[in-house]
Amino acid sequence: MKRPGHLRATLEWYRAFNQDVADNAVYAKTKLTMPVLALGAQYSWGGFVLDPVRGLATTVTGGVIKDSDHWIWEEKPAEMTDRVLGLLGH
């Protein structure tokens, strides 16, 4: 937070919510056709991630990462890497 512009950049993300809502209303009219990975963390969003994303894409893979909080990549890097590589067919 000490870096110049960091706090401003963080707050801009929240300021953009109204525009995001408007943009998403347009985007939701056409489902994504590429494979999408939708994962929630057990102690954060959990199973609430997968169903909404299914409404936005035709091919959705997902689930819940056990024993994880909000920062899945930092807490479960090996499992996340396996999930992403699996989605990519590697």
Distance of CA 67 to the CA centre of its chain: 18
How does pLDDT run across 13-54, given as a tens digit for each residue?
A: 899 999 999 998 998 899 999 999 999 999 998 888 888 899
Q: How far apart are CA 35 and CA 15, in angstroms?
A: 29
* Predicted confidence (pLDDT) at residue 84 exceeds the cutoff of 90: yes
* Predicted confidence (pLDDT) at residue 2 exceeds the cutoff of 80: no
Report pLDDT for 1.
Answer: 65
What percentage of residues in the chain have a pLDDT greater than 70? 99
